């Protein structure tokens, strides 16, 4: 299904934003409601379900925090995220130096955290049961941890030298956090430890780089502005302004040396890319100018580029229940990418000739029962 993703001609997402779209998130409970955050400070909540029962339909905006809302963000919303455990709450962070915790039903902020600098990214752990910490990356090199229970910034992780552009909790271990910075480094932290930092991801795996002193203990030869864990938490992808994407073993911190070729990355802030789950192999969807590049994660192969936006794509989000993708762009549009339906097979085709038609190997069913083997 992922290999046949195509721009859906029958499904539109209602156009509400008057400026570019920076962030999208689909709630993990039902996979039905989607948030979007825009450069105009507006946040929109969409219902992706099709109640019309018609093949052509529009995903309607259920509600929005518009420019006239008293608590609207003053500047660009950089990140939106649903509370991972139910749809009654969501979060947003902005260039107006705030992180807001919203009550979905009243569309009022339940809490607001203020920072000294621009907020680039925030993230809540999808698996945490023992803490309610939101990691926040700002203009400051210090990573802030905000506690939802106490409503205060509980502590700070120090180690980066420049602004923190992306943060992501491990989906496997609730206390492990990955951060990416403009200093060329991505770090892994255990937030229970006093020193915090477990490791700095090193592109050379500890070997001294002969050509330059700059490359010592750096993750990328440029700003690291994107992070994404695989769904099982065993690997971590990073992207940097050196036009490279790297895959890391998240337990050892080792660079797996998968070569993705040139991954064009002109973003001056965080790049919101995503990884499929429930597929084999898994795919990475990376905004690439006005397209979305689709890579196989473990072989590094560029499968295709999804074309349909008129301007730079800034974010995309994967819907695993149906293997669908949604993308947001500076053209103010959100596009839905849906697996193309396969051509119907003519009735007169015999089963024997069917078995001889070879599908794309990625579609082939590798499963077999023990009876077949016997």
Report the distance separating Cα 149 and Cα 136, nearest Å: 16
Work out the number of other CB atoms within 10 angstroms of the CB of residue 371: 6
pLDDT score of 356: 47
Residue ranges per structural domain of the chain: 2-208+216-339
> For 2-208+216-339, which CATH class?
mainly beta
With beta carbons less than 8 A apart as the criterion, state whether 226 and 271 touch: yes
pLDDT score of 9: 84
pTM for this entry? 0.88
Work out the number of other CB atoms within 10 angstroms of the CB of residue 346: 6
pLDDT score of 62: 95
Which residues is 23 bridged to in the sheet? Answer: 37
**The 197-200 sheet, strands edge to edge:** 164-169, 176-181, 186-190, 197-200
With beta carbons less than 8 A apart as the criterion, state whether 121 and 136 touch: yes
pLDDT score of 354: 47
Which two tokens mark 29?
A: 């409970």
Identify the DSSP state of 69: S
Low pLDDT (below 70) residues in the chain: 208-216, 342-374
Contacts 24+ apart (CB under 8 A), 301-307: 302/260, 302/261, 303/3, 304/3, 304/5, 306/5, 306/6, 306/7, 306/337, 307/7
Greatest Cα-to-Cα distance within the chain, rounded to the nearest angstrom: 70
């Amino acid at each position: 299904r992922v290999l046949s993703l195509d721009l859906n001609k029958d499904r539109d997402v209602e156009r509400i934003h008057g400026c570019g779209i920076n962030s999208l998130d689909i709630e993990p409970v039902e996979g039905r409601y989607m948030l979007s955050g825009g450069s105009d400070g507006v946040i929109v909540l969409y219902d992706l379900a099709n109640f019309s029962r018609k093949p052509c339909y529009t995903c309607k905006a259920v509600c929005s925090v518009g420019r006239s809302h008293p608590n609207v963000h003053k500047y660009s919303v950089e990140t939106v995220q649903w509370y991972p455990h139910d749809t009654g709450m969501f979060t947003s962070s902005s260039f107006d130096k705030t992180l807001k915790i919203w009550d979905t039903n009243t569309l009022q902020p339940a809490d607001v955290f203020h920072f000294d600098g621009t907020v680039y990214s925030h993230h809540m752990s999808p698996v945490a049961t023992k803490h309610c910490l939101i990691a926040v990356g700002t203009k400051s090199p210090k990573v802030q941890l905000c506690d939802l229970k106490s409503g205060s910034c509980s502590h700070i992780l120090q180690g980066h030298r420049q602004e923190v552009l992306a943060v992501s909790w491990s989906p496997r271990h609730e206390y492990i956090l990955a951060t990416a910075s403009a200093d060329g480094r991505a770090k892994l932290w255990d937030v229970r430890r006093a020193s915090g930092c477990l490791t700095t991801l090193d592109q050379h795996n500890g070997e001294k780089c002969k050509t330059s002193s700059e490359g010592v203990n750096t993750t990328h030869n440029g700003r690291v502005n994107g992070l994404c864990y695989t769904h099982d938490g065993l690997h971590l992808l990073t992207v940097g302004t050196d036009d490279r994407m790297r895959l890391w073993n998240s337990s050892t911190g080792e660079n797996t040396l998968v070569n993705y070729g040139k991954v064009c990355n002109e973003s001056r802030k965080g790049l919101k890319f995503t990884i499929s789950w429930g597929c084999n192999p898994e795919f990475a969807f990376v905004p690439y100018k006005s397209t979305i590049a689709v890579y196989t994660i473990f072989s590094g192969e560029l499968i295709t580029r999804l074309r349909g936006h008129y301007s730079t794509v800034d974010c995309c989000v994967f819907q695993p229940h149906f293997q669908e993708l949604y993308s947001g762009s500076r053209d103010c549009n959100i596009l839905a990418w849906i697996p193309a339906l396969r051509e119907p097979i003519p009735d007169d085709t015999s089963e024997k000739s069917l078995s001889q038609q070879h599908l794309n190997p990625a579609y082939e069913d590798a499963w077999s029962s023990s009876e077949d083997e016997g």
